[in-house]
A and B are shown apart, each in its own frame.
Chain A
């Protein structure tokens, strides 16, 4: 350590001068961001005029002049009245559930709440047990939801003898038998076989006891509203992810026929509008299956939406697979992994993590596209809003706009939240890769 030389006076820089007043604080900020040049100043003034012209009217319409509560459309028809929120309030149950029987709404609520919890569990970055969540969301939830919503048993009687008096007892014995095989297999770490057998146990038990719930049947023509929009979107998501992964793997496969078929399917569906796919599902699908198998009226557009979202998902996943460095594949082959292990243990985990933003973005697109199922007569949220405009009790000049603004707010909240989520995941992902 050297001792500083005290003989000469040390160099002491004088204190920095403050920046000129015009460069500091609010004024400085405005100078830099609003009036940096003449054209910029003009633009600023123009935008301010635009806002002054637009915003007060909008706020008055949405809040100040709005009618918040009314028994019917009379107050909303008064001249100068703004948005008619009373109308939204009166129709909220219809907008949410369509014509679903009012005393059975708990079934829809249960399904929506559990679906929401599972979705948050899956998407929350810090949550534990993602594997279990995925299993519940992708396998258990759809079955239970189907049963709860329709009131039909979701467990096909194919696996059971025809409904008899002591069907529970039969199922119980079968389940015990299967479990007796499954548990030792699990103990021996034969996970696959044991898992399948345990699945069968659960299936038998559930099938045997389902009708004890005593649910009434509710046919899909009564379903509607936000509930159906979320249903269509969820079905699209649940099916598009696995199908999309399979299609993406098919497109990158070394086997020419499989690759060719995947490419043809993906390119055809991507090249046409969703509406034509829905038309096809609605008018052509029933022709291609035996008469007795003719799909339910809600099932047809669901198949169309699932197909459509799968091919878009396939392209997103393919992007992820291509972004995995070659070395990863080569390393996997070098340590002797077969194709299935290479994909499941090396490529897919990296690829899927990398394209989470892309996946969420295609969910956003899918969610917006669910509005199109109205073309084949499904009462989704937007159609529910759109058909109620002509109700004579409420009809008035502000009803259309009110309904659409409410619907827009709903879709915006969902889509915007999802897009923020995808940006957050993108940042987290990028943070992990920064060097």
Chain B
């Protein structure tokens, strides 16, 4: 009997050969795309020439000529360029994202745990919060905070005085400005030393526990070190940090740190909105830890705090972290809604003012998209690496 290798293969038409069919469809798609891209490019060149739209990036180094009311880097209308305006906007976006992430995480975890609480009224309140906030548009919430809440505040002369010389008015939030005095670096050094010692102690405690099983609690030691070392140095150098109180002068407060109301509204809106999603992520993560885990830990005699810290949280985090990162990215992307309430973020400054002043629509919109895309891709990459690291290694 002849082996099957000797038999001639089935005679099939080339039309039915999967390889050729695949190549054909892909070639067709590619050709179509290339053709479309060429057409688009042609049209763009013709249209941009007809409308005198700049096609290069020379605007980047031209003087900007406009002012911005919140800049983290020095910026002035006369000397700064459009390129610097881009960085001002980018930094403002990152600032909002960073503060928003901190607040939304705190609120989100609180509400998420609240929804799982045994306490009926706490769980209900948390549920109402999540449902109301999740089911209304973020833009509506931002406009509400900005137009209906912050703008309804009194003017600078009738500011609401909060404890600690903090003033709230329709021009924003005014905080006392910390002023660093002599000896501050000594106090700071002492705090750093205390922290270092505490970390070293924690490492030693862990090694010791591995070796002997005896537990040495690191937290009381750390607090003690901070109090003794840090507090001592602070007092010794004569309380080196003072606060400059804001005073009312002219149109508004002088001195102190002014937080513009656009930033306050944006952070309030973004944090509360994202927190409702984070709360759901947290709830899902914690409920996904099997009840048997808690029961087993109880059976082993672990205390309540230890059960949470050593058993539930590490397992829940593994589930929580990837969607949590997604929420952080959403927050970053949603911060682009700043343009609706006049906060000078990347979109408002760059895709708004710079685009209008220069007319370089294609360049400006592409750069803006590239920035968001780069941040998103880098974050997801980092997240994938992290997820791989904490994934369960099954044996």
B373: interface (CB < 8 Å): yes
B contact residues around A275 at 8 Å (CB): 336-337, 339, 347, 351
User: Given that A271-B377, A272-B372, A287-B361 are known contacts, is A382 also in contact with B139, CB under 8 Å in the complex?
Assistant: yes
Residue from the list B22, B132, B337, B351 in contact with A254, Cβ < 8 A: B22
A291: interface (CB < 8 Å): yes
Residue from the list A36, A274, A280, A374 in contact with B118, Cβ < 8 A: A36
**A386 CB to nearest chain B CB (Å):** 6
A273: interface (CB < 8 Å): yes
B58: interface (CB < 8 Å): no
With both beta carbons as reference points, the residue of chain B lying nearest to A32 in the complex is identified as: B118
With both beta carbons as reference points, the residue of chain A lying nearest to B122 in the complex is identified as: A43
Residue from the list A48, A270, A382 in contact with B137, Cβ < 8 A: A382
Residue from the list A274, A371, A419 in contact with B135, Cβ < 8 A: A419
B161: interface (CB < 8 Å): no
Give residues of chain A (385-427) contacting chain B, Cβ–Cβ below 8 Å: 386, 389, 397, 400-401, 404, 407-408, 411-412, 415-416, 419
- On whether the beta carbons of B362 and A284 are closer than 8 Å, the reply is yes
Give residues of chain A (284-326) contacting chain B, Cβ–Cβ below 8 Å: 284, 286-291
B196: interface (CB < 8 Å): no
- On whether the beta carbons of B119 and A34 are closer than 8 Å, the reply is yes
B166: interface (CB < 8 Å): no
**What secondary structure prevails in chain A residues at the interface with B?**
helix
- On whether the beta carbons of B122 and A270 are closer than 8 Å, the reply is no
Task: Mark contacts of B238-269 with chain A using CB atoms, 8 A cut-off: 1 yes-contact digit, 0 otherwise.
Answer: 00000000000000000000000000000000
A33: interface (CB < 8 Å): yes
B192: interface (CB < 8 Å): no
Residue from the list A268, A287, A290, A412 in contact with B136, Cβ < 8 A: A412
Give residues of chain A (29-86) contacting chain B, Cβ–Cβ below 8 Å: 32-34, 36, 40, 43-44, 47-48, 50-51
B61: interface (CB < 8 Å): no
**A423 CB to nearest chain B CB (Å):** 12
B340: interface (CB < 8 Å): yes
B77: interface (CB < 8 Å): no
- On whether the beta carbons of A257 and B30 are closer than 8 Å, the reply is yes
**B253 CB to nearest chain A CB (Å):** 24
B382: interface (CB < 8 Å): no
Give residues of chain B (119-167) contacting chain A, Cβ–Cβ below 8 Å: 119-122, 125, 131-132, 134-140, 143-144, 147-148, 151-152
- On whether the beta carbons of A371 and B43 are closer than 8 Å, the reply is no
User: Given that A40-B119, A412-B132, A419-B135 are known contacts, is A273 also in contact with B140, CB under 8 Å in the complex?
Assistant: no
Whole-angstrom distance between the alpha carbons of A369 and B132 in the complex?
A: 16
**A415 CB to nearest chain B CB (Å):** 4
Residue from the list A32, A33, A372 in contact with B139, Cβ < 8 A: A372
Whole-angstrom distance between the alpha carbons of A280 and B369 in the complex?
A: 9
Task: Mark contacts of B15-43 with chain A using CB atoms, 8 A cut-off: 1 yes-contact digit, 0 otherwise.
Answer: 00000001001100110010000001001
A contact residues around B355 at 8 Å (CB): 283
- On whether the beta carbons of B29 and A258 are closer than 8 Å, the reply is yes
Q: Which of B44-52, B79-87, B281-289 contacts A (4 or more CB under 8 A)?
A: B44-52
With both beta carbons as reference points, the residue of chain B lying nearest to A414 in the complex is identified as: B135
- On whether the beta carbons of A273 and B372 are closer than 8 Å, the reply is yes
A116: interface (CB < 8 Å): no
**A285 CB to nearest chain B CB (Å):** 9
Q: Which of B25, B143, B361 gathers the greatest number of chain A CB atoms within 10 Å?
A: B143
- On whether the beta carbons of A261 and B33 are closer than 8 Å, the reply is yes
Whole-angstrom distance between the alpha carbons of A364 and B368 in the complex?
A: 27
Give how many B residues have a beta carbon under 8 Å from the other chain's beta carbons: 54
**B379 CB to nearest chain A CB (Å):** 9
Whole-angstrom distance between the alpha carbons of A286 and B47 in the complex?
A: 9
Residue from the list B46, B148, B336 in contact with A404, Cβ < 8 A: B148
- On whether the beta carbons of B140 and A287 are closer than 8 Å, the reply is no
- On whether the beta carbons of B135 and A34 are closer than 8 Å, the reply is no
A contact residues around B53 at 8 Å (CB): 287
Whole-angstrom distance between the alpha carbons of A225 and B387 in the complex?
A: 44
- On whether the beta carbons of B361 and A284 are closer than 8 Å, the reply is yes
- On whether the beta carbons of B337 and A411 are closer than 8 Å, the reply is no
- On whether the beta carbons of A289 and B369 are closer than 8 Å, the reply is no
- On whether the beta carbons of B377 and A415 are closer than 8 Å, the reply is no
A256: interface (CB < 8 Å): yes
A267: interface (CB < 8 Å): yes
A279: interface (CB < 8 Å): yes
- On whether the beta carbons of A276 and B118 are closer than 8 Å, the reply is no
Can you list the 9 inter-chain pairs with the closest CB atoms, starting with the nearest?
A: A271-B376, A415-B135, A33-B120, A288-B40, A273-B336, A368-B137, A273-B333, A283-B361, A271-B373
B interface list, Cβ under 8 A from A: 22, 25-26, 29-30, 33, 40, 43-44, 46-48, 50, 53, 117-122, 125, 131-132, 134-140, 143-144, 147-148, 151-152, 333-334, 336-337, 339-340, 347, 351, 355, 361-362, 365, 368-369, 372-373, 376-377
A interface list, Cβ under 8 A from B: 32-34, 36, 40, 43-44, 47-48, 50-51, 254-258, 261, 267-268, 270-276, 279-280, 283-284, 286-291, 364, 368-369, 371-372, 374-375, 382, 386, 389, 397, 400-401, 404, 407-408, 411-412, 415-416, 419
